[in-house]
Amino acid sequence: MLTRTGGVAMNAVLPLAADPALARIRTHCCFCSMQCGMELLPAAGGLGFDIKPSPDFPVATGRLCQKGLNALGHVVHEERLLAPQRRAGAALPGAPWQRAGWEEALDGIAASIRSIQERHGADAVSVFGGGSLTNEVCYLLGKFARVALRSKYIDYNGRYCMSSAAAAQVRAFGIDRGMSIPLDDLQMADYIILAGTNIAECQPTMVPYLLAAKKRGAKIVTIDPRQSMTAKLADIHVSLQPGFDSVFVNGLLHVILSENLYDAAFVDAHTTGLNDVREAVKGFSPDTVAMYTGIPLEVIRTIARGFARAQTGVVLTARGLEQQVNGMEHTLNYINLCLLTGKMGRPGCGFGPVTGQANGQGGREHGMKADQLPGYRSIEDPEARRHVAGVWGVDPNDLPGKGVSAYELFGKILDGEIKAMIVLGSNPLVSSPNNARVAEALQKLELLVVVDLFATETAAYAHWLLPGSSFLEAEGTLTNLEGRVFHRPRALRTPGEVMEDYRLISALADRLGFGESFRYESPEAVFDELARASSGGPADYGGMSYARIKEKHGLYWPCPSADHPGTPRMFENGAYPTATGRAKLHGIAPQKPAETTDREYPFILTTGRLGNHYLSGAQTRRTAALLKKAPFPVAEIHPSAAERILLRPGDRIRLTTRRGSMVFDVKVVPDIHATTIFVPFHWGGEHGINLLTSDALHPVSRMPEFKICAVRIEREAP
Ligand SMILES: Nc1nc2c(c(=O)[nH]1)N[C@H]1C(S)=C(S)[C@@H](COP(=O)(O)OP(=O)(O)OC[C@H]3O[C@@H](n4cnc5c(=O)[nH]c(N)nc54)[C@H](O)[C@@H]3O)O[C@H]1N2
Ligand SMILES: Nc1nc2c(c(=O)[nH]1)N[C@H]1C(S)=C(S)[C@@H](COP(=O)(O)OP(=O)(O)OC[C@H]3O[C@@H](n4cnc5c(=O)[nH]c(N)nc54)[C@H](O)[C@@H]3O)O[C@H]1N2
Ligand code: SF4
Ligand SMILES: [Mo]
């Protein structure tokens, strides 16, 4: 039953239209990169479903975290969009929506696109994608931008997520597959370093793998300005001021080299660049690093010796050190640690930047990135263009060149070069840094189309709002944090007038005159084309098919031929796909963040996640069980900071950065670094911390510095 509130189609109770013949429906959680298997079982009393962990999927088997257990909440939420909506007048927050039919919506959008492209050229229309989408939808969005729009301007939210790690892995190893090892290898590691990764809250079902390693005697080290939930698993916790990872790791490398603890045989056989590292770490003796960082000398020595001497070891990093203007360099230094100690290519050894979103891995492999074609191919490589153009049946010369990164798209709007944007699977007004500037850009668009489950903060500026399909309603494949490509069946029919995302993209391409290139019977047909397009590229899915993936419960890429078993552990043959065939060590000269503290802004603001919310919060803020646990963001500060501003019980705290000023509830926590204020970013509007964050970008990866900006704090009396 459809009702209307504020012009947006709503439904009081969403009919969950499962096939009654199926007693249990197998699917996967929609949230993080673990992609735990789950089952929907008809709930007692016949209304709706219960969620249970699935025994079938060989990852985190039998486990779901609180987000997974509540993953149905947003799908059946009464604010779910069930039909296309258009603006009656201005496209501004609070302005009314009008319900539209699909014909009207698709024709209207296509007409606007044509008119804009006639007046301003093909590149005036841009696409902003997301890493929660299936491989098939990611692939189609990339093809849609290049073939149907002929625009170079496409990028996606993964730019805010994995870009520094991706750039570092490509430089060091010649390839970026997230983790180079399967999760099972964690259990074989004797020494595990977790840097800037809060696994206990962000990939909770990975914790049992760490506990299994610990039970076998493994040492665990965490490196984080906060004593996060993950730090509670650690034998040693290093409380680091944000921005100091490269300094700290140079200290570790100094000990390893000066005490001759490095694996000379591995380094000689498989790497280049040892002298660069020797040079770079010269000035970073452990006592100097202890002085710079406040980390005791003995702790630096203990970790360096412990990791180097361990038979097996793994280093995992995540956004803590990657979302910085020096994020690629910090990551390269942690890679140095693995390479120098020979902890690569063997069971229980490896490096991995822990991927974030459901399909954060596949999302960066199939052409949503500004400079990439499917299979992780460079859009500037003539051979790659020829191959992909061949699969797409177009002239390689007609493929556009590379565009700009996610945040830079908003700059192009402000410059007047981009006039239209299609956002599918992201809520960039909440998740982009310095987001007052993003709001200004969105407001300037002649055409903003948002395809989402909800009328998000971003959609407040849209001219058209199209209902997207949820994870339960769309079949497809995803690639989890291990590089395992698996199949997610369609569990439910789409509600209301919702169209599956892949059909929607095809329908729009059809209206633009490119129907022939976007005619697919099913997601499987899209996948088969994707496999051909990726074939021969770094992320080679060429040997995969739905049948094979289903049979094996997932295949790891690269998988170049139909008889190839897939590649769970990378680099086992000692070969790296770089120009030299060896992995590259990089000497890192630590640099300052874009903003350093001063008298006016004496603290560091860092941002991140809570266990019970997901990203921009579009889904989890609409899930009562999760919202109840964290209804609004709370800033965390050190007791010495509280003392300095004479904070009293009941006070709130005002945070002021060079971008603006906001007031938050506050919690005093003794285990945060004394320089640091932490605020979670899962809210928009008056609670949206990205109003204050810095939009400085990494020069290569174009990653924004979400993790560091200078901030002033003041007490705000009740
Ligand atoms: N519950 C939940 N789980 C999620 C998500 C979510 O939103 N909620 N999002 C998913 C996604 S897309 C991603 S990308 C991942 C992110 O997963 P993580 O990267 O693990 O999460 P964050 O909280 O952003 O940051 C991790 C830690 O980095 C620390 N940190 C800050 N600055 C520094 C620094 O300079 N150096 C070091 N070493 N550490 C620093 C923070 O204190 C924080 O504890 O999680 C995924 N899982
Ligand atoms: N300050 C700060 N900002 C950050 C970060 C940080 O650590 N600090 N982290 C960054 C990171 S790592 C990330 S990944 C980004 C992510 O930030 P966003 O891209 O904003 O992430 P989501 O909230 O997942 O947005 C996904 C949107 O797509 C919708 N959606 C979900 N599934 C589907 C689907 O299948 N089809 C369609 N059509 N829509 C769907 C959801 O309702 C939601 O509105 O945030 C970044 N922003
Ligand atoms: S660990 Fe990640 S994939 Fe698994 S249930 Fe939790 S949010 Fe979902
Ligand atoms: Mo992410």
Residue 567 lies in a domain: no
Bond before 204 cis per omega within 30 degrees: no
Q: Is 452 in the pocket of ligand 2 (CB under 6 A)?
A: yes
Question: Which pLDDT value is given to residue 312?
Answer: 98
Whole-angstrom distance, CA of residue 696 vs CA of residue 658:
12
**Helix intervals (H) in 416-470:** 428-431, 435-444
Three-state DSSP state, 147: helix
Q: Domain count of the chain?
A: 4
Atom of ligand 1 nearest to the CA of 682: 7
Do 152 and 261 belong together in one domain? no
User: Vertex 95, ends 93 and 96: CA angle to 5°?
Assistant: 135
For residue 13, pLDDT over 70 is answered with no
Lowest mean pLDDT among 4-13, 249-258, 388-397, 642-651: 4-13
Atom of ligand 3 nearest to the CA of 68: 5
pLDDT band at 4 (very low <50, low <70, confident <90, very high): very low
Do 168 and 316 belong together in one domain? yes
Residue 148 lies in a domain: yes
Residue 458 lies in a domain: yes
Residues having C-beta closer than 5 Å to ion ligand 4: 161, 356
Atom of ligand 3 nearest to the CA of 35: 3
Residue 692 lies in a domain: yes
Do 349 and 413 belong together in one domain? no
Question: Which pLDDT value is given to residue 611?
Answer: 97
Average pLDDT of span 7-29: 53
Average pLDDT of span 203-213: 98
Question: Which pLDDT value is given to residue 22?
Answer: 54
Pocket test for ligand 2, best of 160, 457, 469 (most atoms within 8 A of CB): 160
Atom of ligand 2 nearest to the CA of 130: 19
Residue 584 lies in a domain: no
CATH code of the domain containing 176: 3.40.228.10
Contacts of residue 151, Cβ cutoff 8 Å, sequence gap at least 6? 122, 123, 124, 125, 126, 127, 145, 400, 403
Closest residue by Cα to residue 116 from 403, 449, 506: 449
Amino acid at residue number 349: C
Contacts of residue 172, Cβ cutoff 8 Å, sequence gap at least 6? 332, 335, 339, 583, 584, 585, 586
Longest alpha-carbon distance in the chain: 72
pLDDT band at 528 (very low <50, low <70, confident <90, very high): very high
Burial, 69: exposed, middle or buried (Cβ in 10 Å; 0-12, 13-18, 19+)?
Answer: middle
Closest residue by Cα to residue 473 from 75, 78, 82: 75
Span between the terminal Cα atoms of the chain, in Å: 45
Most confident option among 45-49, 493-497, 522-526: 522-526
Specify the DSSP class assigned to residue 574: S
Structure-model confidence comparison of residues 25 and 70, the more confident one:
70
Residue ending a domain, among 522, 556, 590, is: 556
Q: What is the 3-state secondary structure (H, E, C) of 356-369?
A: CECCHHHHCCCCCC
Burial, 402: exposed, middle or buried (Cβ in 10 Å; 0-12, 13-18, 19+)?
Answer: middle
Whole-angstrom distance, CA of residue 638 vs CA of residue 647:
11
pLDDT band at 23 (very low <50, low <70, confident <90, very high): low
Ligand 1 centroid to Cα of residue 320, in Å, is: 5
Q: Is 65 in the pocket of ligand 3 (CB under 6 A)?
A: yes
Do 150 and 168 belong together in one domain? no
Q: Atom 27 (ligand 2): residue with closest C-alpha?
A: 426
* pLDDT tens-digit map of 628-686: 999 999 999 999 999 999 999 999 999 999 999 999 999 999 999 999 999 999 999 99
Ligand 3 centroid to Cα of residue 195, in Å, is: 20
Ligand 4 centroid to Cα of residue 157, in Å, is: 8
Residue 491 lies in a domain: yes
Pocket test for ligand 1, best of 156, 157, 198 (most atoms within 8 A of CB): 198
With tokens 């109840």, the residue in question is: 628
The secondary structure of 142-202 as a DSSP string is HHIIIIIS--S-EEEGGGGTTHHHHHHHHHHHS---SSSS-GGGGGG-SEEEEES--HHHH
Residue 579 lies in a domain: no
Do 459 and 500 belong together in one domain? yes
Do 260 and 381 belong together in one domain? no
For residue 15, pLDDT over 60 is answered with no
pTM of the model as a whole: 0.96
Are 231 and 206 spatial neighbours (Cβ–Cβ below 8 Å)?
no
* pLDDT tens-digit map of 119-135: 999 999 999 999 999 99
Residue ending a domain, among 521, 537, 556, is: 556
Residue 230 lies in a domain: yes
CATH code of the domain containing 44: 2.20.25.90
Q: Atom 17 (ligand 1): residue with closest C-alpha?
A: 202
Residues lining ligand 1, CB < 6 A? 32, 161, 195-198, 201-203, 223-226, 228, 240, 242-243, 245, 318-321, 356-357, 360, 606, 608-609, 611, 613-615, 678, 707
* pLDDT tens-digit map of 579-634: 999 999 999 999 999 999 999 999 999 999 999 999 999 999 999 999 999 999 99
Structure tokens at 602: 């004496």
Indicate the length of the chain as a whole number. 718
Residue 680 phi, psi (nearest 5): -70, 150
Question: Which pLDDT value is given to residue 349?
Answer: 98
Do 206 and 284 belong together in one domain? yes
Question: Which pLDDT value is given to residue 47?
Answer: 64
Average pLDDT of span 533-544: 98
Ligand 4 centroid to Cα of residue 317, in Å, is: 13
Mean pLDDT of the chain: 95
Q: Is 164 in the pocket of ligand 2 (CB under 6 A)?
A: no
CATH code of the domain containing 659: 2.40.40.20
CATH code of the domain containing 435: 3.40.50.740
Structure-model confidence comparison of residues 21 and 334, the more confident one:
334
Q: Atom 2 (ligand 3): residue with closest C-alpha?
A: 32
Question: Which pLDDT value is given to residue 49?
Answer: 81
Do 134 and 254 belong together in one domain? no
Measured CA to CA in angstroms, residue 373 lies from 264, 389, 461, 537, 575 at distances of 38, 10, 30, 9, 24
Q: Is 457 in the pocket of ligand 2 (CB under 6 A)?
A: no
Give the dihedral of Cα atoms 13, 17, 22, 28; nearest 10 deg.
-80
Closest residue by Cα to residue 247 from 694, 696, 593: 593
Atom of ligand 1 nearest to the CA of 241: 35
Q: Atom 3 (ligand 2): residue with closest C-alpha?
A: 431
Do 407 and 471 belong together in one domain? yes
Average pLDDT of span 194-212: 98
Do 282 and 416 belong together in one domain? no
Structure tokens at 185: 């290898």
Do 395 and 419 belong together in one domain? yes
Residue 665 phi, psi (nearest 5): -65, 155
Closest residue by Cα to residue 591 from 241, 225, 245: 245
Q: Atom 29 (ligand 1): residue with closest C-alpha?
A: 320
Kind of pairing, strands 97-99 and 85-87? antiparallel
For residue 10, pLDDT over 50 is answered with no
Do 242 and 345 belong together in one domain? yes
- What percent of the chain is predicted at pLDDT more than 70? 96
pLDDT band at 41 (very low <50, low <70, confident <90, very high): confident
Specify the DSSP class assigned to residue 513: I
What residue numbers bound the domain in which 35 lies?
18-75
Residue ending a domain, among 331, 353, 375, is: 353
User: What region does 184 belong to: left with phi over 0, alpha with psi -120 to 50, or beta?
Assistant: alpha
Question: Which pLDDT value is given to residue 631?
Answer: 97
pLDDT band at 25 (very low <50, low <70, confident <90, very high): confident
For residue 6, pLDDT over 50 is answered with no
* pLDDT tens-digit map of 462-486: 999 999 999 999 999 999 999 999 9
Structure tokens at 591: 């640099």
| Residue 663: strand pairing partners | 654
Contacts of residue 578, Cβ cutoff 8 Å, sequence gap at least 6? 173, 174, 584
